[in-house]
Amino acid sequence: MSGTIFLTMKPAFLLRLLPLAACAAGIFAQSWQPPAENRRCPSKWGAGDERGSGNLMSPKTVLRAAGLIRAGSVYELGRVLTSAMPFFGGRKFDLVTKRTVINPGTNRRGSNEEIVHAEMGQIGTQFDAFSHQTIGDSLYNCFKLDEIATRSGFSKLGVEKAGMLMTRAVLIDIAAVKGVPILPAGYEIVPADLEAALKRQNIALEPGDAVLIHTGWGRYWGKDNAQYGRSSPGIGVAAAEWLARQSPMLVGADNPSVEVSPNPDPSVNLPVHQIMLVVNGIHLLENLRLDQLAADRVYESAFIMQPLKMQGATGSTVAPVAIR
């Protein structure tokens, strides 16, 4: 797909893509190793904290977000759940219609229901809770896996602890700043990319923001699921650490894992998940629909989302909205 796109581009446009190709090839690759527990625990919200970046949710963030609603335009950022969507790691979604009989009464009331078999914490547009990832047997705030994991869920760090989140959303359009509709597979977004996009959009990040990264990769969702699930662009280690220093409420993207996949350093596996969830207590939001938000250049909006209150779950399928 990307080869076909490149062949149709003008020479000057191809020159702009050379840095992208170099980065995708791993020239800017940065390795990473987890910090020792005494360097990351207790978290900045205190020993025993389970909410992490959710602590940034406050009346102030709600009022700030509400003040951004002027046109009343609503952007649905969640994917429709179907058995035909991309799946990863043996996940599934099966819905079986359950028809019921016509109930007694002259009005002939009928009812329909459904039975759903699915990994509801990790499908579709999904919100990662802190129980989702570990560094060895240690989770966010140094909770120990064997001490909080049970057959029926996690006794600590379950997704129900996140609560409803409403804050300012900042769209960072990396595809636009690079002048392409879709970033190349394996492209590692670096801090300079984030800074260039924010400068182009004339906007600055503030603590408590929902940072949404547009790569263009979401165009493959439901159209070429195999391509969507293979090597994808996303933030690398340096970009993740840069974002963590901005104290966002969450970081999301229109790709499968928010981060570049596979990592340019083949010796590490999805390190951004550990950097965000385990080390810094920042939620991740994957598989977002961001194309329309990017097309309309809505770089700032009110963001509203609430995970399903599944006690002890590692995450939740969600249907977030951006309103301006």
Supply the pTM of this predicted model: 0.89
The model's pLDDT over 172-206, given as tens digits with 9 standing for 90+, comes to 999 999 999 999 999 999 999 999 999 999 999 99
pLDDT of residue 4: 34
Return the H-helix or E-strand segment holding 154. Answer: strand 153-154
The model's pLDDT over 220-249, given as tens digits with 9 standing for 90+, comes to 999 999 999 989 999 999 999 999 999 999
Check pLDDT > 80 for residue 267.
Answer: yes
Return the H-helix or E-strand segment holding 226. Answer: helix 225-229
| DSSP letter, residue 184 | P
The model's pLDDT over 270-315, given as tens digits with 9 standing for 90+, comes to 999 999 999 999 999 999 999 999 999 999 999 999 999 999 999 9
pLDDT of residue 89: 82
pLDDT of residue 6: 34
Question: How many other C-beta atoms can be found within 10 angstroms of the C-beta atom of residue 12?
Answer: 7
pLDDT interval class at 11 (50, 70, 90): very low
Who contacts 255 (Cβ-Cβ below 8 Å, separation ≥6)?
215, 217, 218, 232, 233, 234, 261, 286, 287
b (16+ CB within 10 A) / e for 46-78 = eeebbbbbbbbbeeebbebbeebeeeeeebebb
**Rounded to whole angstroms, how far apart are CA atoms 133 and 281?**
11
Half-sphere exposure of 294 (CA within 13 A, CB side): 25
pLDDT of residue 194: 98
Q: How far from each other are the two terminal CA atoms of the chain, in whole angstroms?
A: 34
Average pLDDT (2-31) is 46
Check pLDDT > 90 for residue 7.
Answer: no
**Rounded to whole angstroms, how far apart are CA atoms 158 and 50?**
8
> Which CA distances in Å does 97 have to 80, 87, 115, 117, 317?
17, 21, 7, 12, 20
Who contacts 143 (Cβ-Cβ below 8 Å, separation ≥6)?
156, 157
Residue ranges and CATH numbers for the domains of the chain are 2-85+120-323 (3.50.30.50)
Q: 22-26, 47-51, 262-266: which has the minimum mean pLDDT?
A: 22-26
Place of tokens 């043996």: 90
Task: Share the mean pLDDT of the chain.
Answer: 91
pLDDT interval class at 20 (50, 70, 90): low
Check pLDDT > 60 for residue 15.
Answer: no
pLDDT interval class at 102 (50, 70, 90): confident
129 Cα distance to chain centroid: 11
